[in-house]
Amino acid sequence: MSLKSDFAITRHLNFIFPWRSYQAKFLKEFDTHINDGHLHVIAPPGSGKTVLGLEMIRRINRRTLVLCPTLTIRNQWNDRLQNCFLKDRDAVSCSYNLKEPATLTFSTYQSLHAFFKNEMNASSEALINFFKEQDLAHIVLDEAHHLKNEWWIPLFELKKIENGIYTSLTATPPYDSSPRELRNYFDLCGPVDVEITVPELIKENNLCPHQDYIHFSKPSKERIKYIQEYREQLHHFVTALTLDETFIKIVKNHSFYTKTNEVLPDIYENPERYSAILIFLNASGIIISKEKLEVLGLDEKEQEYIPNFSYKWVEILLQHYLIDHREHYLEEEAVLVAIEKKLRQIGGLDQKRVNLIGEQRLYKSLSQSTTKLNSIFEIIKTESEALGSSLRAVILSDYIRKEFLELKKSQLSDLNKLGVIPIFQHLRYSEIAEHDLAVLTGSLIILHSSVIEVLRQRTADGDLTWEQLPDSPYLIIKPNSVSKTKLIGVITSLFEDGFIKILIGTKSLLGEGWDCPAMNTLILASFVGSFVMSNQMRGRAIRVSPKSPDKIASIWHLACLDPTVKNGGADYKLLQRRFEAFCGVTLAGNPVIENGIERLDLDVNADQLSELNEHMVHVAKNRKNVKQRWDEAIESGSVMVNELKLNFDDNKPFAVKRKVAYNSTLKYALSEIVLVLTVVLPELFLSYLRLLIAKGIIHFIVAVAAAMAVTLVPKLYRATKLYLYYGRIDKEIEAIAKVVFDTMVRLKHINTAPDQIKLVIEEPKVGILNCFLKGATEKEEKLFVKYLQEVLAPVNNPRYVINQADWLREKLGFSSCFTVPEIFAQRKKEASVFYEFWKQYLGTSELIFTRNLEGRKLLLKARFNELKKDTHVKTKQATIWK
């Protein structure tokens, strides 16, 4: 992309400090990254994102608008510009006013939205014309994960500016947002060009060594009873639904069931609804006819493959009848009203969405469990014993809960919510030194009376007043003339200097933007917010501290386990998802740096909660070991590699599977041959002696061969099938990876010379395959992993699919449908390139366009086929230091 401008920003801006190695590496490849008109950088807090952004502004050399989520961050951009790039402050004109932009304009997302709505009358044309007139062609999005729904509109309109460039800087993309929001994010910001990683920052002493821990708790007996009753009610509701003759009749009268062949186009447009109807009727004991099964790709003998009537299918079915198309069933209103009433009674309706799984409801029940208060106390006790007077612990929660402010010790059992004040009250009445505790929120500040004199020395007379918290040594601080920002700074200094050792606050105040390098222990008692916020909060703890150069940080997460399920329940499930957003060093075994909760090597079981916590407390006390493990892990690698991790259900090594299957094949073949030679052949000789004499040797050989086939072939077939199947899994994945790679090279999604890149497939653990590119750029790695995951994921609703079906594959169970990645499926020309490589590596197949009747027919069969598979593979994008 050509970078031309009349504004000589390049001449007047110059970074006056040396670049860190990871920053220099990115800037070295700047020209490659800018080719698509996007620069997208992910970097943790403390990595120098702002100065990197200013350097990109310098190199792009155009009038620029920098958009930030808050005024504080907006002002930081100008501060960094003045202090790190400009010798002459008047050399480059700057503005905070969107109406009067300068060479560099610093503003907020809110201001742009208001400007678009009020000044431009929400006119896209007017907005674009204004930016063209002002020659604003470079838009910088800082902390772009903050974007709200209404802010998308003007930003996407600005992408229509000819030769415009978008630069996006963030600590964490919103990976846990809805698919639509995540798509919007990447459509706006473009693919990730570079991710500055934690190991690089620790290696250069820009972040401190740290470790994540989890402290587990169980819900109270009352909560457990609530969960059990909720699940029992759900079970009874679903069972009753399958026995409700009136509702069964309503479903059987649906045109999808009564006129299947006549409404096939509608069925292929709504495959999940058709599946839900058949699955419900099957659960109700109805025999499904051949013509209806064939639509799903089943024959009349395969009704057993119809899945159970799980909550997912209940939701799809009832969403249709109760919400989306209620107006079509006015004659059945009485029946539907009765079902809706029962559904509401058990909490299965969430506004206009049927939600039987109850994830939000169960999650709320677990995440707010007050048994986490005991976890917080145990963590503080552990860290206090390990660090003594050096302890600087911050506990972040979501809500203040002022209603518990005057709680007495005898009323502790009344604490029924998690929040800042409940945590404060629980700790002050425990074995924690009272003078160590303080509360810092936007509307409530509490300090121990022993600290007040130091506070007065650091503020001016009349800046603040205070009142006693009844029956306690604590004071509620009330600012008068001093600003809230200044007071927060003073209290932060008290914490850094050790007058306060345990600070309890809200994530909204302390979770993002608050800078306190002295913090060495963080407890995340927050249950609201995305893992974008989780990562931001972690970022507060892992900053290096000039006053404590040997700082090692502990980050504690809280999880309330659901003892009624095997996987830990909704609270732990969310925590697992959040761990995907950041990397760390493994807790045991060989030190490896990777993302995901697997690095903690936990066998989570509510029945072994005490053992889990004892283990966590034991390893957390050995802080020196954390530093040693980071050093060893960093030494063993040089870069974070993006890979696709494939986890198979049975967790058995592929080599073992092949060996077992091969041995079985050999065993069956040899045993059958011995059996034929010693038993079958003599018996056949005697039995067919007359045939031999009468018909001759040819007829005799045919008869013997037929008899051998009857006994030999079935077992040999099964063993051969196993051998071929297990011998193909990793080989087939390798072939598919080659298809993706070669297509990317051909279509110029990979610009690195192919002979410099190595495709690697390894089996690091039992039942797991990792696939990645070695030697490609980070952007190329990420795109390769993304595209490969699309191919291997269950078919959803792609534009093109490849049907890998022939007689032999079908008989051996290999008949499969694979998604053509979206980026290659936008035009038939690109899809055909992908298909040509597919045929080269995987043989006979068919490229099918799914936006017609035949294509949708195949899609439905492919999606349903996933439901009846014996084995499944789970894929996830992972990062690991290698």
Q: Per residue in 789-804, pLDDT tens?
A: 999 988 888 999 999 8
- Buried-exposed string 208-230: b where 16+ CB fall within 10 A, e elsewhere: bbbbbbbbbbbbeeebbeebeeb
Q: Output the pLDDT for position 530.
A: 54
Between residues 742 and 358, which one has the greater pLDDT?
Answer: 742
Between residues 646 and 727, which one has the greater pLDDT?
Answer: 646
Give, as one character, the DSSP assignment of residue 591: -
Q: Output the pLDDT for position 529.
A: 54
Question: Does the pLDDT at position 707 exceed 70?
Answer: no
| Average pLDDT, integer, range 710-721 | 55
- Buried-exposed string 319-351: b where 16+ CB fall within 10 A, e elsewhere: bbbbeeeeeebeebeebbeebbeebeebebbee
The span from the CA of 656 to the CA of 183, in Å, is: 40
| Average pLDDT, integer, range 444-470 | 92
| Average pLDDT, integer, range 621-630 | 95
3-class secondary-structure state, position 762: strand
> How high does pLDDT run on average in the chain?
86
The span from the CA of 772 to the CA of 788, in Å, is: 10
In this predicted model, what pLDDT tens digit does every residue of 128-149 receive, in sequence order? 999 999 999 999 999 877 666 6
In this predicted model, what pLDDT tens digit does every residue of 813-872 receive, in sequence order? 555 789 999 999 999 999 999 999 999 999 889 999 999 988 988 888 888 877 766 556
pTM of the entire predicted model:
0.84
Query: What are the start-end ranges of the E strands in 206-287?
Result: 210-217
Residue 776: Cβ-neighbour burial (10 angstroms; 0-12, 13-18, 19+): buried
| Average pLDDT, integer, range 148-158 | 83
From 9-13, 189-193, 596-600, the region with the lowest mean pLDDT: 9-13
In this predicted model, what pLDDT tens digit does every residue of 157-174 receive, in sequence order? 998 998 899 999 988 777
Q: Would the CA dihedral through 132, 137, 140, 144 be positive or negative?
A: positive
When pLDDT is cut at 50, 70 and 90, the band that residue 389 belongs to is very high
Nearest to 626 by CA among 552, 716, 707: 552
Question: Does the pLDDT at position 660 exceed 50?
Answer: no
Domains recognised in the chain with CATH numbers:
9-196 (3.40.50.300), 223-356 (no CATH), 654-722 (no CATH), 731-881 (no CATH)
Question: Does the pLDDT at position 720 exceed 70?
Answer: no
When pLDDT is cut at 50, 70 and 90, the band that residue 661 belongs to is very low
Q: Output the pLDDT for position 702.
A: 56
From 410-414, 615-619, 649-653, the region with the lowest mean pLDDT: 649-653
Sheet holding 816-819, edge to edge: 816-819, 800-804, 846-849
- Check: CB of residue 346 under 8 Å from CB of residue 234: yes
Between residues 575 and 685, which one has the greater pLDDT?
Answer: 575
Q: Output the pLDDT for position 226.
A: 85
In this predicted model, what pLDDT tens digit does every residue of 320-363 receive, in sequence order? 999 999 999 999 999 999 999 999 988 888 778 898 876 566 76
Q: Output the pLDDT for position 701.
A: 59
Percent of the chain exceeding pLDDT 70 equals 85
The span from the CA of 879 to the CA of 867, in Å, is: 29
In this predicted model, what pLDDT tens digit does every residue of 517-543 receive, in sequence order? 999 999 999 876 556 667 777 888 999
The span from the CA of 469 to the CA of 446, in Å, is: 9
3-class secondary-structure state, position 562: coil
Amino acid present at 281: L
When pLDDT is cut at 50, 70 and 90, the band that residue 725 belongs to is very low
Nearest to 352 by CA among 326, 325, 319, 310: 319
The span from the CA of 840 to the CA of 844, in Å, is: 9
CB atoms within 10 A of CB 61: 18
Nearest to 707 by CA among 734, 730, 687, 736: 687
| Average pLDDT, integer, range 387-407 | 94
CA 341 to the chain's CA centroid = 35
Give, as one character, the DSSP assignment of residue 598: G
| CA distances (Å), origin 521, targets 26, 504, 600 | 32, 12, 18
Amino acid present at 252: K
| Average pLDDT, integer, range 497-510 | 90
